[in-house]
Structure 1
Amino acid sequence: MAAMDLFGRRWALRIIWELRAGPLGARALLARCAGMSSSVLYQRLRELSSGGIIAPSADGYELTRLGAELGDALRPLGEWAATWAQAQEQDDRGPAGA
């Protein structure tokens, strides 16, 4: 439940998502997360660092081994979300031939 609490905090998963391809500094993270305040960013960075999900690096912040493994764990959820999004689009278009 502690992990779900951490990941459920606003912007936490977005920060993890943005770090998936490699390290980023705080300014780059703010630029990629339009609408996030710097105070929230730094709070989430502290929380995710304390949780062992990210770590400071020479280039800003990067995923730890556990953080990278989280991406692997979330991959099935991403696949489900893509299927769900397609179903939503089909529902929005209405029945075939309508």
Structure 2
Amino acid sequence: MTTKKPGNPVRGSDTGRPIMVLMDMLGQRWALRILWELRESRLTFRQLQQRCDQISPTVLNRRLKELRELHLIDHDGNGFGLTDQGEELGQHLLALDDYAKRWANTRK
């Protein structure tokens, strides 16, 4: 597995532009859901697995590793949680969630 980081090629970008690396990571199955579940508190592996509809342990481990490599989450004795960068991203995701709700209302 190639480390996803700016400068490394990812889907849609041979140059690895930062926005493309971030969007590639967020587009990975379960990545957004994991970040979303960690927005309010730290969670253990088992708690995350339950909140993510019983995601397989293999996939959860892979996503957690990738998100840690990107410094969006960390792990301590209390479980997994967002780093400062992860918190900042979370604020942008909340804004996107607000937009998505407004957008959905126009589609009814």
Distance 1:76 1:36, change over 3 A: same
Give runs of ≥4 in structure 1 deviating > 3 Å. none
TM-score normalized with structure 1 length = 0.85
**Deviation string, structure 1 residues 49-75 (Cα, Å, up to 9, x no partner):** 000000011111010000000011223
% same residue: 44
Q: Which runs of 5+ in 2 are unaligned?
A: 1-19
Count of matched residue pairs: 89
Whether 2:11 is the aligned partner of 1:2: answer no
Structure 1 residue 35 displacement after superposition:
4.5
Whichever structure has more helix as a proportion of its residues is 1
Could you say which residue in structure 1 is the equivalent of 2:76? 57
Distance 1:35 1:59 in 2: 20
Distance 1:35 1:74 in 2: 23
Could you say which residue in structure 2 is the equivalent of 1:31? 50
Q: Which runs of 5+ in 1 are unaligned?
A: 92-98
TM-score normalized with structure 2 length = 0.77
Q: Which has the higher contact order (CA 8 A, sep 6+)?
A: 1
Partner SS, residue 55 of structure 1: strand
Whether 2:31 is the aligned partner of 1:12: answer yes
